[in-house]
Amino acid sequence: MSKRLSIALGVWLPCLAALGCATAPPVGAPGLALKKVVIYRNGVGYFERGGHVDSDRVMFKVRKDEVGDFLATLAVLERGGSSVRSASFPLEVEKDDPPPPPPPTPVTPPMAVPGAPTSAAQAVANAGPDKDLRHVVMALDGKEHDLQVGYIAGTPVWRPSYRLVIDKDAASLQTWGIVENLSGEDWTNVSLSLVAEAPLAFEASLGTPVIPGRPTVTDNGEVMAVVPRSETSLAEAPPPPPPPASAPAPVAPSGKGARSYGIARKKPAPGGAYADKALESAMDDVEGEIAASGAVGNFAAQAPAYSRQTRNLAALAAIAVQSGTTRYDLPAAVTIPDKSATMVMLMDQRIPGEVVALYAPDGGVPDSASHPFRVARFTNKTGGLLERGPLAIFSQGSFSGQGMTDALPEGATATVPFGLDRRVAVEVARESREEGARLYHIEAGSLTIARDAVALTKYKVKNGGAEPAKLVIKHGRMAGARMKNFPAGTEDNVGTGSALVPMQVAARATEELALDERQQTTRTIDWLSALADEAVKAYLGDRRADATVAAGLKAAWEIRQVLIKATAERQQLTTEEAERRKATDETRNNLKALEKNTAAGDLRAKLTERLAADSARLDVVGKKLIEVGLRINENQVRFGEAIRAIRLSQPLASE
């Protein structure tokens, strides 16, 4: 099918039998024809009616279930003439006992009395086939007026559908919108707009009387026990006037009554984009192209490349972004009969796009743990939001697969899987450890350091294909961790808990990718520990260190070195003392055993000499232990005073 045909084609979807009997439209008004329909993604639509009415009032027939929405959103847009005075509508009131039948009296039509009394409107609403309708009468202050009114009513959401045609340079994105009319009336030659996103809309019950309870004052003069407090806002100077707005850039004039948003428009085909004559003309164009090419039996071989864009830009919707909401305005009037649907092309635009491989294991696809998906990656450069919807992907002149794209803001990139790439195999290995020590907090002599909890993930990728593989790794991020030395081009998708990491693998080659994530942990430690020494030396060697803190740490560390040396000496002396005492005890026991042995005189002399030497050494060690203990005590006091004066509240950022 040629592009010319695809643009002109309106796909009518027939009414399902399950829809049942015809229903009344949400709102009807004699003399005010339906002019405009705006469909949103939240189950409501905005309807605009207009016309010239030669009367001092207008009666709306509003379906009972739509009265609240109609009253809550009714907007009167007068083009000239008289003004609106009031709008009257009937109420449903529950009665305890049915009143006796009234005597026959002439009934005054509701239009005969200005202001449309409720009783008359109720009588009309409850009579005949319109018993499920409520009449809202809008009174005017004159008889000549050109009136436009707008309101919202419940409407099926419009649904997008996309086609992505990828070639070696970029891609073409087609956006279609499916619109369903279940309103109870035909939409004939209306201006149709489709709005992405879902603005807040709620059901209102303005047509239902509400009488809230009130506090009671008794005969004894009792009143409410608690008086609600009032709120007072102090006066303040008014804000300065906003700067003058810059002059808007000139745009080319667009079609009838439509705003121009920078998209060139041509004169639409006679009869509108959905008329039978336009469809027949498009079919004639297709047949003419086939006949001219001489490829009746071999049309597929000589068909134009898929990357060719739409020729008739006038058939595409104008895209506007207003208050953060994307809106598609169709350039030509649209007719959608009641209980039918149509599919219209909204956009056909060149965007950056390519087919790559994505490693993102999915429990629903077991082989995805070993092989990456084939995915379409494209960037939204359309000027507005792309809603969530199905995506058909075409590449290399044929259909490649289907996927589902999430809502995509302007400038965002989508990665949509549509198949597995079994030419590429992936293995994953993980390990964890702790590294480094940094000063985190010092106050009142307490030292807190920070360390890195390292999560290292290694991806081993083998490409068995004959061409280089362009791969994207969907890496699950460690919560609160920072990425260290990730490859250039990595997309850290905040809010999804993952990062997309690019990788290139040559043909018939194997590559490894190591991803290092680090999460800071803190702990309070002893000043004399090895981690404290590592953290302080790292701080003193950092050019960003605070000079006052660094000076205090340097002075304290000189005392610490003396303290560490004395502590080590005491440990050595204590060990030696314990060994000497053990040796002297053993020697004494041996001498006692040889005490009555007259033949072991030489051995007793040798043991006696050893005992004397050990005892003498014990005396020396004991003296040194006392001296070292005094030195340690002195330096502990000095060190304690030195570190107590140091205060570090702002740690250095990790590099």
SS (H, E, C) 36-61: EEEECCCCEEEEEEEEEEECCEEEEE
Q: How far apart are CA 425 and CA 195, in angstroms?
A: 43
The set of residues, in sequence order, having a beta carbon less than 8 Å from that of 72 and lying 6+ positions away, is 204, 206
Least confident of 97-106, 273-282, 370-379: 273-282
Is the per-residue pLDDT at 604 higher than 60?
yes
Is the per-residue pLDDT at 556 higher than 90?
yes
The set of residues, in sequence order, having a beta carbon less than 8 Å from that of 358 and lying 6+ positions away, is 372, 373, 374, 375, 415, 417, 471, 472, 474, 500
Residue with tokens 């208050």: 323
pLDDT at 41: 86
Q: What digits encode the pLDDT tens for the residues 339-368?
A: 998 888 888 889 999 999 999 998 888 899
pLDDT at 2: 36
pLDDT at 15: 41
3 state SS of 247? coil
pLDDT at 86: 63
- Residue of 139 and 6 predicted with greater confidence: 139
- Residue of 231 and 505 predicted with greater confidence: 505
How deeply is 152 buried, as exposed, middle or buried, from its count of CB atoms within 10 A (0-12, 13-18, 19+)? buried
Q: How far apart are CA 592 and CA 255, in angstroms?
A: 123
* Helices 547-593 & 530-540 angle (0-180, nearest 10): 150
pLDDT at 394: 92
Closest Cα to residue 648, out of 544, 558, 563? 544
Q: What percent of the chain has pLDDT over 70?
A: 68
pLDDT at 55: 79
Q: How far apart are CA 631 and CA 624, in angstroms?
A: 10
How many CA atoms within 13 Å lie on the side-chain side of 540? 15
Cite the residue boundaries of each domain of the chain with CATH code 1.10.287: 547-644
Hey, CA dihedral for 139, 144, 147, 153, is it positive or negative? positive
Q: Hey, how many other C-beta atoms are within 10 angstroms of the C-beta on 463?
A: 22
Phi, psi of 649 (to 5 degrees): -110, -20
Is the per-residue pLDDT at 307 higher than 70?
no
pLDDT at 221: 44
pLDDT at 322: 56
Residue 121 banded pLDDT, cuts 50, 70, 90: very low
DSSP assignment, residue 65?
Answer: G
- On average, the pLDDT of the chain sits at 76
Helix (H) / strand (E) element for 137: namely strand 133-140
Strand partners, 617: none
pLDDT at 60: 84
pLDDT at 309: 53
pLDDT at 87: 59
Strand partners, 406: none
CATH topology of domain 424-525: Immunoglobulin-like (2.60.40)
- Residue of 136 and 283 predicted with greater confidence: 136
Q: How far apart are CA 134 and CA 119, in angstroms?
A: 12
Residue 487 banded pLDDT, cuts 50, 70, 90: very high
Phi-psi map region of 140: left, alpha, beta (phi>0 left; psi -120 to 50 alpha)? beta
Q: What percent of the chain has pLDDT over 90?
A: 36
3 state SS of 7? helix
Q: How far apart are CA 144 and CA 147, in angstroms?
A: 10
| Whole-prediction pTM | 0.56
Closest Cα to residue 149, out of 160, 136, 131? 136
Residue 510 banded pLDDT, cuts 50, 70, 90: very high
pLDDT at 292: 45
- Which two structure tokens, joined as six digits, stand for 219? 């005969």
Secondary structure percentages of the chain, helix, strand, coil, to 5 = 25, 35, 40
What DSSP assignment string belongs to 348-414?
A: EEEE-EEEEEEE--BTTBGGGGTSPEEEEEEE--SSSPBPSEEEEEEETTEEEEEEEEPPB-TT-EE
Instruction: Give me the mean pLDDT over the 116-137 stretch.
Output: 55
Cα dihedral 44/50/54/57 (nearest 10): 20
pLDDT at 216: 53
Q: What digits encode the pLDDT tens for the residues 236-276?
A: 455 566 555 444 444 333 333 333 333 333 334 444 443 34
Q: What digits encode the pLDDT tens for the residues 439-470?
A: 999 999 999 999 999 999 999 999 999 999 99
How deeply is 478 buried, as exposed, middle or buried, from its count of CB atoms within 10 A (0-12, 13-18, 19+)? middle
Residue 126 banded pLDDT, cuts 50, 70, 90: very low
Q: What digits encode the pLDDT tens for the residues 309-338?
A: 555 545 566 666 655 677 888 888 889 998
- The one-letter code for the residue type at 477 is R
Q: What digits encode the pLDDT tens for the residues 6-45?
A: 333 344 444 433 444 557 788 888 888 899 999 988 888 8
pLDDT at 90: 59
Cite the residue boundaries of each domain of the chain with CATH code 2.60.40: 424-525
Least confident of 188-202, 285-299, 495-509: 285-299
Is the per-residue pLDDT at 534 higher than 60?
yes
Residue 227 banded pLDDT, cuts 50, 70, 90: very low
What DSSP assignment string belongs to 497-556?
A: TEEEEEEEE-TTEEEEEEEEEEEEEEEEE-TTSHHHHHHHHHHHT-TTS-HHHHHHHHHH
Hey, CA dihedral for 647, 650, 651, 652, is it positive or negative? negative
Residue 223 banded pLDDT, cuts 50, 70, 90: very low
Q: How far apart are CA 284 and CA 5, in angstroms?
A: 9
Q: What digits encode the pLDDT tens for the residues 560-603?
A: 999 999 999 999 999 999 999 999 999 999 888 888 787 888 88
Out of 3.40.1130, 1.10.287, 1.10.10, 3.30.420, the CATH code matching 547-644 is 1.10.287
Residue 201 banded pLDDT, cuts 50, 70, 90: low
DSSP assignment, residue 336?
Answer: E
pLDDT at 294: 41
- Residue of 643 and 227 predicted with greater confidence: 643
* Contact criterion met (CB below 8 Å) for 52 and 376: no
Residue 384 banded pLDDT, cuts 50, 70, 90: confident
Is the per-residue pLDDT at 438 higher than 50?
yes
